[in-house]
Each structure stands twice: as structure tokens, then as C-alpha cells.
Amino acid sequence: MMRSAASGLVAMLLAAALVACDTDFGSVGGGGVFMQGKPAPAVKTKTLKDVGGDMAKLTSYRYPDPRMYELSFDEALKQHKPIVLEFATPGHCTQCDKQLQLMKEMLNKYEHKVLFLHMDQYYNPEAYDAFQVRGEPWTFVINERGEVEVVYPGRMLYQEIDPVLSDLTGGVK
């Protein structure tokens, strides 16, 4: 009896994990894909300053980069630079961990031309609602005018995001 209850719990947790991560079962999920070409919502999100510098209050990522948490999204829009807004909760999504590794690589390459912000569902749920994100990871690239340029549900590859950022910045110098 105890074994079947434990098996049931494991099955339920596995199903929840599959729903939480983008698993590409023929559906992109979420309404965020319809935001492409429209102004990004100027949502206030938590920053390092808001949490007294405690990264554990902003992300479930094991190796966070503080540069991704310096600005609230509404403040980032006022900078009039391209923005990569990454929705990922690695605390329950293995693809999210890999996605954030890629975003850190892109941040190192484009840090003076593009702002990179990470939103973790545990700590910035209001951003998930504003951008209609369901499942993870999701990447939104916003141009310098504050318009959603690219919406990518699921994990992106270097070969997919690098040309987009290169076009928006006129190439890296």
C-alpha cells in the first residue's frame, strides 16, 4: 500500500515537472508569442538592491550572474538598449539551467550593447503574468524602442540568438 502511494506521488511530480518545462508536444503554450511586434509591458521586477544583495531571493539558479539582476525591467526599458529577458526557473527545469548558461555567454559577448535580465518564476511571478509565459524557458528580445522583437518559447541555441543580437547591435566591436 505504501509503495503504490509513493509511486503515485513520483508520477504526479514527474507530470508536474514535464508541464513546468517546455517539452515541445506540438504546442508552444502561453500567450507571449502574440506579443511579437508590440510594446513590452513595463513591469517592475525585483533587483539585487530590493533584496539586499541576496541572490537566493532572486533566482533558483546555482551560478547566477549579478549583472542579470541589477535593473528592474521597467528601468531597463528606459535605457533604450536592446534587452534579452529570460524566463527560466532552474529550480524545477533542467533546460532552464542550460538556457541560463547560454545567456551568461551572450552577456559576456554583448554586455555593453544589450541588457540581460533573468526572471525566475519563484521570485518574479508578476513578470510571468505580464508576458503571458506558461512553461519554461522563454526568451524575449526587446529592441531599443521597447518593442518585442523576438519571442522564443523553449531552449535557444547560440546559432539562433547570436544573429538576432548581432543585427540589433550592428555587430559586436
pLDDT in tens, 118-143: 999 999 999 999 999 988 999 999 99
Q: Could you give the number of structural domains in the chain?
A: 1
Q: pLDDT per residue over 78-123, tens digit each?
A: 999 999 999 999 999 989 999 999 999 999 999 999 999 999 999 9
CB 21 within 8 A of CB 95: yes
Amino acid letter, residue 131: F
For residue 29, the model assigns a pLDDT of 53
Residue 146 belongs to domain with CATH number: 3.40.30.10
For residue 14, the model assigns a pLDDT of 38
Q: pLDDT per residue over 5-59, tens digit each?
A: 444 444 443 344 444 444 333 344 567 888 899 999 999 999 999 999 999 999 9
- Provide the terminal-to-terminal Cα distance of the chain, rounded to the nearest Å: 65
Rg (CA), the chain: 17
For residue 26, the model assigns a pLDDT of 35
The secondary structure of 66-101, three-state, reads HHHHCCCHHHHHCCCCCEEEEECCCCCCHHHHHHHH
Task: State which residues form the domain around 160.
Answer: 2-22+30-169
Which residue shows C-alpha cell 539551467?
A: 97
